[in-house]
């Protein structure tokens, strides 16, 4: 899994509309998106720009995204 962001809200919406039903993923409270590596190529093929923040930790859990 990879953490990515989008440059603006319209691009994010376009990406989410494309990714839904094709790939599993999660939107984090920070606004970052957790997607499988295969989604990166698919987004590029659709000319949807994104920035890679890095690989998700193997120990990432939904609970780690909850603020105290």
pLDDT higher than threshold 50 for residue 24 = yes
DSSP calls for the chain: -EEEE-SSHHHHHHHHHHHTTTS--EE-TTS-EEE-HHHHHHHHHTT---EEEEEPPTT--GGGG---
Share of the chain above pLDDT 70, in %: 84
Q: Where are the beta strands (DSSP E) in the chain?
A: 2-5, 26-27, 33-35, 51-55
Q: Which tokens hold the place of 27?
A: 């939107």
Digit-coded pLDDT (tens) for 33-58: 999 999 999 999 999 999 999 998 76
**pTM for the model:** 0.78
**With pLDDT > 90 as the criterion, what percentage of the chain qualifies?**
75
Q: Which residues pair with 54 in a beta bridge?
A: 3
């Amino acid at each position: 899994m990879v953490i990515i962001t989008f440059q603006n809200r319209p691009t994010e919406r376009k990406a989410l509309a494309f990714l839904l039903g094709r790939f599993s993923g999660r939107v984090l409270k920070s606004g970052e998106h957790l997607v499988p590596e295969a989604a990166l190529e698919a987004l590029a093929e659709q000319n949807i720009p994104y920035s890679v923040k890095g690989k998700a930790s193997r120990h990432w859990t939904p609970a780690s995204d909850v603020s105290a």
